Amino acid sequence: MKTLTRRLPAMTAMFAVMLTMVIGGCDEEEDVPEQKITSYGLVAKDLTGVAGTVTFTELSSTVTIIDIEVTGSSASSHPANIHLSSEVSGGSVSITLTPVVNGYSSTTVTKLDNNTNISYDELILFDGHLSVRQSSSDLTTVIAVADIGGNALTANSQSYTLNAVGASGVSGSALFQRRNNGNSLVTVSLTGTNEGSVHPAVIRVGSVESVGGGPVSMTLNPVNGASGKSYTDLRALDSGEAISYVQFLAYGGYMTIQESTLLMEVTLCQGNIGSN
């Protein structure tokens, strides 16, 4: 994510001046006010080779321009929307944007789809994500995504090693990344897993040295055996108690990856996290 303050591009600046003249009048020689701009990187989802940028530009206290630029996609129309929650968690459409055509889309936003007013400052704190879909007839294929607003990732992260247990041959790491809103994205990356397998992933109280193991405090999304990956939007423990990225750094726990839902007693790999 990139946030900066700069002068608007020529065409947008011209529109801003005209709008100001119509509403309140202005001196033609006045400088155009500096505008706030925030950009997020779009990454490929279901199709490889797609990338891009989504840029939020404050036009006024009530008007925001959202520009999407995509490379690696076809020139046809691709529906674009802002959804509630993070990309990992998924969520319903909150703002319907102008479809991306020939790699570009621009939308003037003043309200959510439910007619609730929303400003630039509210958008860059919004609990949401943006998706670009393959077509209106294939909305299940997501060609590019970006966590935005409060869900955008910061530079703060902490990685923990997951060591193989016994002769499982499975090991890897767990990466905790801080979001703007203080929550965490947890990415588990393993080697030694097999296609077709699904491995439960949990965080437990205590440490790997705990006799008999500790109780499960947080259930993560399972690891896909084909990719060796698991992604979880971490906001609360299974008890419902909220837990932030900073709180997790001080949490006394450990992570375990199990063989399967039918063999939860078999641990493939594990590692201490937080204060351990």
pLDDT in tens, 83-107: 999 999 999 999 999 999 999 999 9
**CA-closest candidate to residue 186, choices 88, 43, 270:** 88
DSSP string for 116-178? -B--HHHHTT-EEEEEEEEETTEEEEEEEEEEEETTSEEEEEEEEEEEE-TT---EEEEEEEE
CATH number for the domain harbouring residue 242 = 2.60.40
Query: Pick the residue with more confidence: 152 or 30?
Result: 152
Q: What integer pLDDT is reported at residue 212 of this predicted model?
A: 75
End-of-domain residue from the set 119, 134, 149: 149
Question: Are 128 and 166 members of one domain?
Answer: no
> Do 272 and 207 form a contact (C-beta atoms < 8 A)?
yes
Which amino acid appears at position 12 of this protein? T
Q: Which residue has the tokens 């090991």?
A: 171
Q: What local confidence, expressed as pLDDT, does residue 95 receive?
A: 98
> How many independent structural domains does the chain possess?
2
Considering the domain architecture, whether residues 122 and 30 belong to the same structural domain is answered as: yes
Cα-based angle 109, 113, 119 (whole degrees, multiple of 5): 35
What does the pLDDT read at residue 127? 97
Q: Is the predicted pLDDT of residue 176 greater than 50, yes or no? A: yes
Whether residue 118 sits in one domain with residue 57: yes
Is the domain of 82 the same as that of 115? Answer: yes
Q: Using one digit for the tens of pLDDT, what is the confidence trace for 65-84?
A: 999 999 998 899 999 999 99
Q: Could you tell me if 174 and 42 lie in one domain?
A: no
pLDDT(141) > 60: yes
Q: Identify the domain boundary among 129, 149, 169.
A: 149
- Do residues 117 and 213 share a domain? no
Answer yes or no: are the C-beta atoms of 188 and 257 closer than 8 Å. yes
Q: According to DSSP H, which parts of 148-270 are helical? A: 245-249
* Statement to judge: residues 176 and 109 lie in one domain: no
Given this model, what pLDDT does residue 210 score? 80
pLDDT category at 2 given cuts 50, 70, 90 is low
Q: Is residue 61 pLDDT above 80, yes or no?
A: yes
* d(C-alpha 185, C-alpha 183), whole Å: 7
Pair 30, 104 in one domain: yes
pLDDT class of 13 with cuts at 50, 70, 90: very low
Percent of the chain with pLDDT over 70: 88
Confidence of residue 22 (pLDDT cuts 50, 70, 90): very low
Distances in Å between the Cα of 1 and the Cα atoms of 36, 53, 156 are: 13, 10, 13
In this structure, are 169 and 41 located in the same domain? no
In this structure, the answer to whether residues 126 and 183 fall within a common structural domain is no
Domain termination site, one of 149, 173, 191: 149
Tell me the residue range of the domain where 84 lies.
2-149
The pLDDT value given to residue 27: 52
100 in the same domain as 188: no
Kindly state whether residues 10 and 137 are assigned to the same domain: yes
**CA–centroid distance for 223 within its chain:** 18
Q: What is the pLDDT of residue 213?
A: 81
CA nearest neighbour of 149 among 131, 132, 133, 130: 130
